[in-house]
Amino acid sequence: MEDDVNPGSENNTICMYTPSSDGGMAQYAWELMNALSDEGRGNFKVELVTGQDVVPLFQTDAYPIHAILPPLCHRNEFANRASWVASRLAHYPRREWRFLKWLRGRPDVVAVHLQEWTPWLAASMIRRIRAMGKQVFYTVHNIYPHRYPAMVPKAVMDRWVRKACRSCDGLFVHTERLAGQLAQFLGGTHPPIHVVPHGVWTVRGTAPRPTMEERLEWKKLLFFGTIRRNKGLDVLLRAAETLHDYSITIAGEPLEAEYYRTEILPQIQRLRNDGVKINLIDRYISESELPELLATHSAVVLPYTPNFVAQSGVIFLALAHELPVVASLAGGLKDLFEEFRVGVPFSEVTPAALAAAVRRLADPDVRRDVTEQIAAARSHYSWRETARATIAGYLSTEPETRQAFDDCAMATTSAQ
């Protein structure tokens, strides 16, 4: 891992900007960067800029890592909300300034690929990057950030996101559905929107996995990921009223305090009083905890509401661990289920529909089909394809910048 500027002026360099040093975004960057470094080997370089506290799990010698961004302190480290807010307001400009300072010393970097940004600072940062003569790409994992200050009106957030997206040279999304929604949101003239598949997460370690039959006999359901209203946890808890023979594990950090306090916790207490087994782990789950968590459950439940419009990283985590899913058809989940039945879907996001989908997993024919479909999906969603689609997006830039990628273009064409 590198902390200092180490220009590779003999190569065209693409810089991936991913401030998150742990969690799903860090995992995504690690997977994509490994694939990009393989696909572009000898023709261009990829380098990562990330947080100073990058965890060992995402450190590698496959590509240079510049851990230069200031770490984000957790809310629990502050005595009161005012101190926390003040820290956030200072953190993001300092983070962007540190990155731009580093980038000015890297004339070999021809493109910057943003995996994350700060909405109210993004357009300004992109303008400064382009003023250096560099292209800017952004992966739109979600049109809106998962959470932002309640005092920010939606119209203001819309303006920030539109301006930043329109300032880019290219945008990446994971599904055709999200591409359409993004195009509609941006309206008028906007940068090219490239659809790149989300890969199946890499599973580390070689611990034996239970068979599908063994898993499903346990009747243990897992809700994993950040707890937000559009994830539909309240729907699962209402469905649990008719699933007394199942246990439920809820593992994830609450991001909407009022929703969690007034709707989720009271439902959990009522269910426990009725004898339903619920294991609540209401905190951030580290990457090192995931293998055991996923190996000890029967299925992952994704009761996402229609307000969820992105692709779900959780479903690809389930695929990586060969775990069936019970899922609504919200956002990118519908796109995946149209190709592979990796579990049991339900169209109406209601407790009755969810409970019926859970029960269908007991059908021997469904189990057999799901097992086959999971194997097919795991083979199909490779990070190599993600990298190739990403490179194609890089190559679709304006003619004067595309010249910087000529070698890469020829290599990609000959490989195909």
pLDDT, tens digit (0-9, with 9 covering 90-100), for 139-154: 999 887 655 555 678 8
How far is the CA of 20 from the CAs of 17, 26, 55, 81, 414, in angstroms?
9, 6, 10, 22, 35
Locate 410 and state its tokens: 């020829």
Locate 126 and state its tokens: 């992109």
Beta-sheet strand order (sheet of 343-346): 278-281, 247-251, 220-224, 299-302, 325-328, 343-346
Q: Which of 179, 177, 138, 129 lies closest to 161 in space, CA to CA?
A: 138
Locate 258 and state its tokens: 């009022």
Size of the chain, expressed as the number of residues it contains? 416
Element counts in the chain: helices (H) and strands (E): 17, 13
Q: What local confidence, expressed as pLDDT, does residue 6 receive? A: 41
Q: What local confidence, expressed as pLDDT, does residue 379 receive? A: 85
pLDDT score of 131 more than 70: yes
Kindly report, residue by residue over 227-266, the tens digit of the pLDDT.
Answer: 989 899 999 999 999 999 999 999 999 988 899 999 999 9
Q: What local confidence, expressed as pLDDT, does residue 354 receive? A: 96
Kindly report, residue by residue over 161-215, the tens digit of the pLDDT.
Answer: 999 999 999 999 998 888 998 999 999 889 999 999 899 988 876 566 788 888 8
Mean pLDDT value of segment 11-40: 91
- Tally of CB atoms within 10 A around 155: 8
Q: Which has more pLDDT, 298 or 41?
A: 298
User: Which one-letter amino acid corresponds to residue 48?
Assistant: L
Q: What local confidence, expressed as pLDDT, does residue 70 receive? A: 93
Locate 24 and state its tokens: 């799903």
Mean pLDDT value of segment 346-352: 93
Least confident of 72-76, 95-99, 101-105, 409-413: 409-413
Q: What is d(CA 310, CA 27) in angstroms, rounded to the nearest whole number?
A: 17
Q: What percent of the chain has pLDDT over 70?
A: 87
Q: What is d(CA 137, CA 92) in angstroms, rounded to the nearest whole number?
A: 20
Mean pLDDT value of segment 53-57: 89
Q: What local confidence, expressed as pLDDT, does residue 149 receive? A: 56
pLDDT score of 355 more than 70: yes
User: Which one-letter amino acid corresponds to residue 20?
Assistant: S
End-to-end C-alpha distance for the chain, whole angstroms: 32
Would you call 143 helix, strand, or coil by DSSP?
coil
Q: Find the DSSP H helices in 240-363.
A: 257-259, 265-273, 290-295, 313-320, 332-339, 351-360
Locate 289 and state its tokens: 């905890």
What burial letters (b/e) apply to 177-188, b meaning 16+ CB within 10 Å?
bbbebbeebbee
Q: Residue 344's beta-bridge partner residues?
A: 326
Q: What local confidence, expressed as pLDDT, does residue 46 receive? A: 94
H or E element that contains 103:
helix 81-104
- Do 381 and 199 form a contact (C-beta atoms < 8 A)? yes
pLDDT score of 43 more than 50: yes
Q: Which has more pLDDT, 84 or 391?
A: 391
